[in-house]
Structure 1
């Protein structure tokens, strides 16, 4: 049966609402099975779901719901006794209904043969019925389903809900229009500002002309009086001057000009009044636009606890599959979060919950031997803290075996066996693509979402992911995310030649420092400054971003702004080139060309039409502190966070890609990590560069004009000069045949775009020692 996409979407939304309500009622019933009043609303919701499924033509699904409805009806009528096993079976059936709807939402509906209807029917038939099943109270087949809401028969009419559903695309469209209104308003403000400046100039000019006219009029009067005096001496004074209106043409012209000038003054006053009225209207329009934006932002919000039923269901399903007893405890779930943030975070949270049950929680017998309860516990806390949402997910299981992780990392040549591994290093290792200590991938452990994807997604959202683990105590993850992806207060600044925005939520303070003092702190001092009693590591932001190196000789200003940023318990200070001011900005996702740049979480358009890049503060702080840790590990004499000229040889890396953006982004990444970067736009240019300057490592794209990557690789492996140079293929071609072809030709490694920076840096470190 063919279904209309819009109707299917309505059915899915309604089913999610109904199943969420059913789960809520069942949770109220489970602690005390004698309180059967909680089953009545469950029956009503199931009846509604059954009717909707029949209308959509999902016959097998509808029969399954009907069968479940009959079982619950028996429990409600006390025809069969209620016990925990029957409660669990009902919960498993509800979980299956959720799975069916989730599959339908992903456009991968289950076949009728996959619906365990016979199994449920057998359960129903095996029940000893002592009374006839009654009709579901208060529900009728004529009930209507309209826009995902259940409307009672006219004999049982209830007040309708004022809630309506809006597709996310509609909200996005409204949001875009709202942003355009704000941009237009900013343009109007600029135009009015320009008009006011013109009016000021106009007032000055009018006053200047008035003064000149006054002088001209005085001269005209003097000339006229001289003429009268001469005429009087010649006998022409028998007539009064006013009587004959004997004005000179010069005086007549000056009087006319004065009249025109007075009219011009009136026009000026009118223009000033109109401008003031327009300014007042723009202010009112700004208030209305802000209210509209706040309304749209609020409409994008969703209750934080809306994810709890879904996570509970995963805990039930996975623990049942693995034969473990796991309790899910939601300690706190307060406030709201941007729907888009939650949607992007859900797969990661689901993976972390599965991981906690599969890898973390021990089997009951092992837990008992360790002096723990037979059941494991997964805890969840979600709450708002300032302009951030904090999500804490923990378990009381094994904890992460750091030595096991280290051994696996050493085996994969990702870690030096002699080096100690901190928790920060541990987080970095388990976040690498494809890293796992599991020898066998199961349907639970291998669902296509790893900690690498979770960490990358959190970073893209402008958040941070931390972990704390203790052997035999458990593991605790802390995720911090921005409250909203849309409207944010931000600091606009200039670093190098580019304008950037930094969310004010991470700003601890701003000051100005003499360039001489900055230079001393960066290069000859400790590399640290104190602000409000806290010590900050000091960096030059433009250098960290790969824009330009610090050079005090090129700076004309005597003072430069320094911003102090904090994230969790970590803090860093950045020297910037110019401070523009604070603005309310709309953050838009960065395009595909910037998705590999981890320093950027989005872009924003200022009122004057200027595009600014929104910086990922958490990532920048981590990058900066990583440099500090490396400096401390290397026991450098100069504890300077910003590297000066390095005496040792830098690894030379040749980037071969026809995309200018890819070349620029990769070059900046390499320069930040103290590599020399060369670039070529095609294979021919790459071979020419290699003939002049031999690289240590080559990053090679496949699809390029003139000469593709495969041909370049083939030529390199045939030439004794280039034969041993490590080649890392970086391409959008993720297919197995391209990978095999590259390996046959002699590629050392193969990365698919978009890749994680950590993966590339690990490979560079690996082949750096071989080159």
Structure 2
């Protein structure tokens, strides 16, 4: 701030206060190097503020070096590492001040290497709070430290409370529906009783006229209350109906009151959840000094000149997300400075100006955070990328891949376009760290590069909220939840139009307004058959999505309304699937997957590019040809999980829900291996395995049983039938893949195999 506004009188005073506070804390815990460096930095600031002239660029450069070293030492303390020497900075400060620092001080500075393991660490103070809110009263606000795990537990507990409230709400709604039916029934019964009463009176009068004698009274039976037994019953029923009306009215009042209480509870739960979530949020500006320091240090090492502009500093992210995304952003910044930015002389020749500009931005768009890093450098040399890909046998020299496919190579581990290895680049690790880190966060990375203009990296991160509004959709008789905030708009489309779009395959486009959306069927994305009604005039729901540059029109079978859902983790077995944000539990106990539609489409595109271009060599391929695997399990979750796992390792997968369906599949294709469960309807795993082993055509196929039945009796029966491997649920990916590698190589285990032990 002082560097940008050299006439600002407040900034240097605030800097002096911060340095003085840090110095006092360092002295208190006997961390002498930090104390001495802050002391002389403070003296440097005081001396400069007393000068009548404006601060020179050399002063700011030296001050930034001191602040960078202090940040570095703070990180070393946090990691319990020895502190870096400061003698070079002490000499630089001495030279700038044109004064000799006493030798005793220099000796103390250079020889005091504090071991953080034997000294207390400097208390971490929020030095950025004053920058964020300079007008806040200087009186300290009481704060407490609590464990992040406790916050997570409280958030989860709050989510469980919401689920319970939703269940009560569903019960209330069901009760209200039953009450409506009761009202209808009572009204119908009232009408019937009224007709019965009229008919009874008519019959009494008829019999009275028919049996009347001269000696009888002139009063008719109705006037003397001479009612028959049936009339007494009808009158009693009428009174009971009135009582039922009163009871129904009272119940309706109670339900209305319960709905009001639930509404109030919903507001309280929402406020509690929002408050708990906000305790984990940190502003993006906390990372700004760190990124600026990296730009200064790397530029100085490379002999380049660059400045970093950061926008979106006011955005707040979850602390866990902020910690995990820091390293990928750092690697992108270094990559841009090393590979993208030219030397000052080269930039002057291209009329760009010797100082390069890196622009880091963070914006929130619906349910995503978009982090973009743009540089005005030379762009990505795709010809060099292609050359290195051919050298590493990742690409066929005769192929002609698209720019998008070529750019994906720079994300491969060990892939680098640097001509020589240095401490900064050349090992092909940086962008691999970026890609791995983003995938771990279920994010997406897109790369856009123009030669001689620059490169832009866009990181799309899902906004992970514990509670969100979800849209329930149905596809192939299965229900899923989609975050409502990710849906731009809804539309309905005729069946004949859908048929025409499906016929266009990947080229299908849907026009809405002034924008063009790529058309997808959710059923097809999930590897289901798209079933359309016979009535071509019927309209099906279509959801439109916007995510960065993606424009998606998604066809679903039906929409089941929207509701508040609590996002739950899905465990390690499914956490690698980017298209699944998590799961949720409905009020009736059903578990639904929460889909990330843009990620689902990106995964589909990536698979299609790999298949169509035939340029990528699968690093996980188990055989030269693409093997075929059958997955036979009555659980759709296990079928999908196993199918996705096998596809990642280069398999062509077919699924069946029991042995009967698997036998039907055998009439169409012969697999290289079969994975099946034991307990299935119609034909179980033992029966299907026996069928395979007794068939001359299929008895050579290896069989792997994956089941929750892991007892010795079950294993022995499978061994007697001729099953090649027997694994328990839940399985480990490495265990399954190792078994497949052995079976596809030898087609059977050796007799000493312990899988059946």
Q: Which runs of 5+ in 1 are unaligned?
A: 1-26, 133-143, 635-648, 708-728, 748-771
Residue 586 of structure 1 contacts residue 604 of structure 1 at CA under 8 Å; is this kept in 2? yes
Q: How does the TM-score come out when normalised to structure 2?
A: 0.70
Residue 647 of structure 2 contacts residue 653 of structure 2 at CA under 8 Å; is this kept in 1? no
2:611 pairs with 1:611: no
* Aligned partner of 1:543 among 512, 520, 524: 524
Q: In 2 relative to 1, CA 616–343 (structure 1 residues): closer, same or farther, beyond 3 Å?
A: same
Aligned to 2:727: none
2:81 pairs with 1:110: yes
* Aligned partner of 2:13 among 31, 40, 50: 40
- Pairs within 5 Å for 1:100-499: 100-105=73-78, 108-111=79-82, 114-122=83-91, 127-128=97-98, 158-161=138-141, 168-214=148-194, 217=197, 233=213, 254-330=234-310, 333=313, 335-368=315-348, 372-385=352-365, 388-438=368-418, 441-445=421-425, 450-458=430-438, 461=441, 463-482=443-462, 485-499=465-479
Shift of residue 313, structure 1, vs aligned partner = 1.4
Residue 470 of structure 2 contacts residue 482 of structure 2 at CA under 8 Å; is this kept in 1? yes
What SS class does the counterpart of residue 413 from structure 2 fall into? coil
- Pairs within 5 Å for 1:604-753: 604-625=584-605, 651-653=626-628, 663-667=642-646, 678-680=673-675, 692=698, 731=734
Residue 301 of structure 1 contacts residue 338 of structure 1 at CA under 8 Å; is this kept in 2? yes
Q: Which runs of 5+ in 2 are unaligned?
A: 103-121, 131-136, 615-623, 655-670, 678-685, 713-731, 747-757
Which string of whole-angstrom CA distances, capped at 9 and with x for unpartnered residues, describes residues 445-501 of structure 1?
A: 389963244335445656543222233433222334445544544432122243223
Which string of whole-angstrom CA distances, capped at 9 and with x for unpartnered residues, describes residues 504-551 of structure 1?
A: 4554554444545534543488962543265555443223223x2346
1:410 and 1:532 map into 2 onto residues whose CA distance is 42
Residue 308 of structure 1 contacts residue 330 of structure 1 at CA under 8 Å; is this kept in 2? yes
1:349 and 1:405 map into 2 onto residues whose CA distance is 22
Q: In 2 relative to 1, CA 103–661 (structure 1 residues): closer, same or farther, beyond 3 Å?
A: farther
Shift of residue 389, structure 1, vs aligned partner = 3.7
Shift of residue 668, structure 1, vs aligned partner = 5.4
1:98 and 1:167 map into 2 onto residues whose CA distance is 24
Shift of residue 390, structure 1, vs aligned partner = 3.5
Shift of residue 593, structure 1, vs aligned partner = 1.2
Report the more deviating stretch, 120-129 or 412-421: 120-129
Shift of residue 194, structure 1, vs aligned partner = 0.9
2:16 and 2:309 map into 1 onto residues whose CA distance is 27
1:407 and 1:629 map into 2 onto residues whose CA distance is 20
Residue 335 of structure 2 contacts residue 430 of structure 2 at CA under 8 Å; is this kept in 1? no
Aligned to 1:594: 574
Shift of residue 414, structure 1, vs aligned partner = 1.2
Shift of residue 592, structure 1, vs aligned partner = 1.1
Shift of residue 365, structure 1, vs aligned partner = 4.5
2:318 and 2:268 map into 1 onto residues whose CA distance is 22
Residue 628 of structure 2 contacts residue 653 of structure 2 at CA under 8 Å; is this kept in 1? no
2:541 and 2:705 map into 1 onto residues whose CA distance is 40
Shift of residue 408, structure 1, vs aligned partner = 1.0
Q: In 2 relative to 1, CA 599–681 (structure 1 residues): closer, same or farther, beyond 3 Å?
A: same
1:265 and 1:435 map into 2 onto residues whose CA distance is 78
Shift of residue 436, structure 1, vs aligned partner = 2.1
What SS class does the counterpart of residue 419 from structure 1 fall into? coil
What SS class does the counterpart of residue 246 from structure 2 fall into? helix
1:497 and 1:671 map into 2 onto residues whose CA distance is 28
2:25 pairs with 1:52: yes
Q: In 2 relative to 1, CA 237–295 (structure 1 residues): closer, same or farther, beyond 3 Å?
A: same
What SS class does the counterpart of residue 398 from structure 2 fall into? coil
- Please report the RMSD computed on the Cα atoms of aligned residues, expressed in angstroms: 5.2
Shift of residue 169, structure 1, vs aligned partner = 3.8
1:425 and 1:99 map into 2 onto residues whose CA distance is 39
What SS class does the counterpart of residue 593 from structure 1 fall into? coil
Q: How many residues align?
A: 653
Aligned to 1:13: none
Q: In 2 relative to 1, CA 655–412 (structure 1 residues): closer, same or farther, beyond 3 Å?
A: farther
Aligned to 1:91: 64
Residue 493 of structure 1 contacts residue 580 of structure 1 at CA under 8 Å; is this kept in 2? yes
Q: How does the TM-score come out when normalised to structure 1?
A: 0.69
Shift of residue 597, structure 1, vs aligned partner = 1.6
2:60 and 2:314 map into 1 onto residues whose CA distance is 29
2:598 and 2:439 map into 1 onto residues whose CA distance is 8
Residue 204 of structure 2 contacts residue 221 of structure 2 at CA under 8 Å; is this kept in 1? no
2:262 and 2:447 map into 1 onto residues whose CA distance is 49
Q: In 2 relative to 1, CA 93–130 (structure 1 residues): closer, same or farther, beyond 3 Å?
A: closer
Aligned to 1:532: 512
1:453 and 1:612 map into 2 onto residues whose CA distance is 32
Residue 510 of structure 2 contacts residue 519 of structure 2 at CA under 8 Å; is this kept in 1? no
Shift of residue 731, structure 1, vs aligned partner = 2.6
Shift of residue 303, structure 1, vs aligned partner = 3.4
Residue 51 of structure 1 contacts residue 62 of structure 1 at CA under 8 Å; is this kept in 2? yes
1:525 and 1:31 map into 2 onto residues whose CA distance is 58
Residue 671 of structure 1 contacts residue 677 of structure 1 at CA under 8 Å; is this kept in 2? no
2:2 pairs with 1:28: yes
Which string of whole-angstrom CA distances, capped at 9 and with x for unpartnered residues, describes residues 597-646 of structure 1?
A: 23223333344443322223223333444577689879xxxxxxxxxxxx
Residue 494 of structure 1 contacts residue 577 of structure 1 at CA under 8 Å; is this kept in 2? yes
Which string of whole-angstrom CA distances, capped at 9 and with x for unpartnered residues, describes residues 231-280 of structure 1?
A: 98596869999999876666555544444443332222111111122223
1:240 and 1:131 map into 2 onto residues whose CA distance is 130
Q: In 2 relative to 1, CA 257–698 (structure 1 residues): closer, same or farther, beyond 3 Å?
A: closer
Q: In 2 relative to 1, CA 669–493 (structure 1 residues): closer, same or farther, beyond 3 Å?
A: farther
What SS class does the counterpart of residue 541 from structure 2 fall into? strand
Residue 461 of structure 1 contacts residue 601 of structure 1 at CA under 8 Å; is this kept in 2? no
Residue 675 of structure 2 contacts residue 705 of structure 2 at CA under 8 Å; is this kept in 1? no
Q: In 2 relative to 1, CA 205–47 (structure 1 residues): closer, same or farther, beyond 3 Å?
A: same
Q: In 2 relative to 1, CA 651–115 (structure 1 residues): closer, same or farther, beyond 3 Å?
A: closer
1:607 and 1:207 map into 2 onto residues whose CA distance is 32
What SS class does the counterpart of residue 197 from structure 1 fall into? helix
Shift of residue 88, structure 1, vs aligned partner = 2.4
1:531 and 1:471 map into 2 onto residues whose CA distance is 32
What SS class does the counterpart of residue 573 from structure 2 fall into? helix
1:150 and 1:543 map into 2 onto residues whose CA distance is 50
Q: In 2 relative to 1, CA 535–286 (structure 1 residues): closer, same or farther, beyond 3 Å?
A: same
